[in-house]
Amino acid sequence: MPGAIHAEGLVKTFGDVRALDGVDLDVPEGTVLGLLGPNGAGKTTTVRVLTTLLRPDSGRAEVAGLDVLRQPNEVRRSIGLSGQFAAVDEYLTGRENLQMVGRLYQMPGREAKKRADELLERFNLADAADRTAKTYSGGMRRRLDLAAALVVSPPVMFMDEPTTGLDPRNRQALWDVIQKLVAGGTTLLLTTQYLEEADRLADDIAVVDHGKVIARGTSDELKHRTGGERIEVVVHERDRIEDARRILAPQGKGEVSLDQHTRRLTVPVSGGAKLLAEVIRELDASGIEIDDIGLRRPTLDDVFISLTGHAAVVNDAGTDPEGDGDGDSRTATAARGTDPKNPEVTQ
Amino acid sequence: MSTMADAPGTSRQAVAPRGRGGIGQSVTDSLIVAKRNLIRMVRIPEVIIFGLFQPIMFVVLFSYVFGGSINLPGAGVNPDDYRGFLMAGIFAQTVTFATAGAGAGIAEDMHKGLIDRFRSLPMARGAVLTGRTLADAVQTALTLVVLAVVALLVGWRVEEGILKALGGFGLLLLLGYAFTWIGALIGLSVRTPEAATSGGLVWLFPLTFISVAFVPSQNMPTFLAHIAEWNPFSATVMAARELFGNLPAGYPVPDAWPMQNPVLASLLYSVVIIVLFRTLAVRKYRSSAG
């Protein structure tokens, strides 16, 4: 059975820029694909092609079994799109926005009104329903935008960077909403620059760079491909860093690296929790005070760097919703070295 | 993902009902979008209010400052003659300035991602643009009403009866509507609302001044006079003047065909502009890469 989303050899150039350079995708029905990549990788262009907004130069695509190029209006009936920029009319109220979208899906007036009320309730916007969207917070606008994409309960959803620019609390709340949505069986293609987001929401991840899918798999598969675990130590006193490095060096199977600013030493290892315990004992015996220590599995950040040779996002404050580095494993302890199957369980 | 495990037996979900298609859907969709734009106008009344300042200022300035010093061929130096002659020109110039509003509005919708939202919906082809231009026509009509009242206050009168006068306003409105389609195309072609505003305005100055709107073409160099007399804008000005009865008794109407048959010429020009620019704008809308 063909997937709910299927694309073959999509190419799109803008002037000299090859935005898409042969993108192939397959998203089985009822699953979530995370399209992960830096700005300009081709994520948004891919979504625009699949949602009929942009004609590719070559290649073909089907969404919900319908040909995107030949049956665009049929495709539009079966999809919901939630954009990077909250596409709601800020001078209309939340209710008016949703009613308008319903009417434009050819719902009768009464039905559009009923559906708008349901969605406002479900997205916790009922109290703000009759205020113009201009008065909404960023998180409320995103929820309204998402609600607008769900007016007809489309079987296939596209979300282009749904949480970009949101603060951690709102991001978390939106993730919960999205998880409930996909639990209902909606097929979702989600683009993101946030590795944590892909980790948390997607069944499968396609890493995109320079208009190509450069790797594909589950989050765990991608992490395994990148290689093993490592120990990270944050040394309390700066002048004991070199002592700590001398203890770590013989245990590792590679170079010990140091982040001066955070006083963090990192070394690749292969001994698991047992080795970690040993390192802790040695550090303790030498009287080196540590702020944090943990056994770290590779994160999607590491995956990205090893695949592309550059970080997903460079120094973008928004990259890190937790504000403390990669939220998944920074505070990892030996106990968490046990390979979690579901990333979200460990949150 | 773990959540899939507890998904209830996933039944095929409701998708949008099939559209009726055709003209019916075009009309409905256009009206839905027009309603949306009218709601916006009511909630941002500044736009209409400031939009009225300039034409009102023109009415007052031209009547009182230039009024006495512009000679109309075939008429005396009576300022009332020029005032009557002038009003159709100012009305016409005002309606063409709606172009900039339409362009800026559409550019803003592109910029904010609303056009993407609309384009991802199963809507009729031209409905987003038609809705916008219809809403602008309502605004233009309102502006004309206010302007007519101001003109009456400074002494302008219609001399040919109310029906013909309404016909004159109808032609002005049609010209304004035609020009909003040019604005729509500009709005879709530029990247920012600011560019759409200036891009929508610059060419309107030569267009409206190299015309018979403010001074008779007889006073211009021959070369410019030809342009002025064949200018689509002039045709509507002349038609309105004729229908309002604002041409001084002995005024020598230029020989150019649109000047001799201004009502027909005005209609033809406006219809051609609408057909041409609607086609171009809708095509641009459907292919816009945003």
Three-state helix/strand/coil letters over chain A: CCCCEEEEEEEEEECCEEEEEEEEEEECCCCEEEEECCCCCCHHHHHHHHCCCCCCCEEEEEECCEECCCCHHHHHHHEEEECCCCCCCCCCEHHHHHHHHHHHCCCCHHHHHHHHHHHHHHCCCHHHCCCEHHHCCHHHHHHHHHHHHCCCCCCEEEEECCCCCCCHHHHHHHHHHHHHHHHCCCEEEEEECCHHHHHHHCCEEEEEECCEEEEEECHHHHHHHHCCCEEEEEECCHHHHHHHHHHHHHHCCCCCEEECCCCEEEEECCCHHHHHHHHHHHHHHCCCCEEEEEEECCCHHHHHHHHHCCCCCCCCHHHCCCCCCCCCCCCCCHHHHCCCCCHHHHC
> What mean pLDDT is predicted for residues B47-72?
81
* Residues B77-116 pLDDT 10s: 566 778 888 899 999 999 998 888 899 999 999 988 899 8
| CATH code of A140's domain | 3.40.50.300
What is the chain B residue with the closest CA to A102? B16
Rounded CA-CA distance A101/B122 in Å is 10
Cβ within 8 Å, pair A106-B17: yes
Q: In chain A, what residues touch B19 (CB-CB under 8 Å)?
A: 73, 77, 106
Q: Are residues A164 and A217 in the same domain?
A: yes
Rounded CA-CA distance B149/B145 in Å is 6
Measure B201 CA to nearest chain A CA, in Å.
25
Write down which residue in A223, A241, A266 finishes a domain. A223
- Say if strands A187-192 and A32-36 run parallel, antiparallel, or are unpaired: parallel
Q: In chain B, what residues touch A107 (CB-CB under 8 Å)?
A: 16-17
**Type of residue at B275:** V
Q: Are residues A219 and A235 in the same domain?
A: no
Q: Are residues A57 and A193 in the same domain?
A: yes
**Type of residue at B169:** F
Cβ within 8 Å, pair A155-B15: yes
CB contact residues (below 8 A), chain A span 16-75, against chain B: 30-32, 48, 51-55, 73-74
* Residues A94-142 pLDDT 10s: 999 999 999 999 999 999 999 999 999 989 999 999 999 999 998 899 8
Mean pLDDT, rounded, of chain B:
87
Angle made by CA atoms A130, A133, A136, in degrees to the nearest 5: 100
Rounded CA-CA distance A280/A142 in Å is 45
Q: Are residues A34 and A169 in the same domain?
A: yes
Cβ within 8 Å, pair B1-A132: no
Q: Are residues A313 and A189 in the same domain?
A: no
Rounded CA-CA distance B71/A92 in Å is 51
Cβ contacts from A onto B, under 8 A: 133
**What is the residue whose two structure tokens read 């063409």?**
B96
Write down which residue in A192, A223, A254 finishes a domain. A223
- A177 touches B at CB < 8 Å: no
Cβ within 8 Å, pair B122-A85: no
Q: Are residues A149 and A245 in the same domain?
A: no
| CATH code of A286's domain | 3.30.70.100
Rounded CA-CA distance B243/B168 in Å is 5
Question: Above 80 in pLDDT, residue B188?
Answer: yes
- A76 touches B at CB < 8 Å: yes
Could you tell me the pLDDT band of residue B20, with boundaries at 50, 70 and 90? low
Q: Are residues A148 and A181 in the same domain?
A: yes
Cβ within 8 Å, pair B122-A89: no
Query: What is the predicted pLDDT for the residue at B288?
Result: 65
Which among B12, B112, B121 is the nearest to A76, CB-wise? B121
Q: Are residues A231 and A200 in the same domain?
A: no
CB contact residues (below 8 A), chain A span 77-106, against chain B: 77-79, 81, 83-92, 96, 100-101, 103-106
Contacts of A284 (CB under 8 A, 6+ apart): none
Q: Is B75 left (phi over 0), alpha (psi -120 to 50) or beta?
A: beta
Tokens of A164: 């970009």
- B191 touches A at CB < 8 Å: no
Of residues A311, A290, A299, the one with CA closest to residue A229:
A299
Q: Across the beta sheet with A187-192, what order do the strands follow?
A: A79-82, A156-160, A187-192, A32-36, A204-209, A212-217
Per-domain residue ranges of chain B? 23-287
Residues of chain A whose pLDDT is less than 70? 1-2, 85-86, 227, 310-347
CA B79 to chain centre: 29
CB contact residues (below 8 A), chain B span 254-273, against chain A: none
- B31 touches A at CB < 8 Å: no
Tokens of A186: 């909606």
What is the chain A residue with the closest CA to B287? A54
- B27 touches A at CB < 8 Å: no
Q: What range does the domain containing A160 cover? A: 5-223
The interface predicted TM-score of the complex, written ipTM, equals 0.85
- B122 touches A at CB < 8 Å: yes
Q: How far apart are the first and last CA of chain A?
A: 34
Cβ within 8 Å, pair A96-B39: yes
Q: Are residues A92 and A173 in the same domain?
A: yes
Q: Are residues A54 and A188 in the same domain?
A: yes
Measure B134 CA to nearest chain A CA, in Å.
17
> What mean pLDDT is predicted for residues B156-162?
90
Write down which residue in A223, A243, A273 finishes a domain. A223
Tokens of B234: 């002039």
**What is the residue whose two structure tokens read 């970690």?**
A276
Q: Are residues A193 and A326 in the same domain?
A: no
Query: What is the predicted pLDDT for the residue at B49?
Result: 86
Report the sign of the C-alpha dihedral through residues A246, A251, A255, A261, in that order: negative
Measure B85 CA to nearest chain A CA, in Å.
41
Candidate from A66-75, B36-45, B191-200 with smallest mean pLDDT:
B191-200
Report the domain count for chain A.
Answer: 2
Cβ within 8 Å, pair B7-A77: no
Q: Are residues A195 and A237 in the same domain?
A: no
Q: In chain A, what residues touch B17 (CB-CB under 8 Å)?
A: 105-107
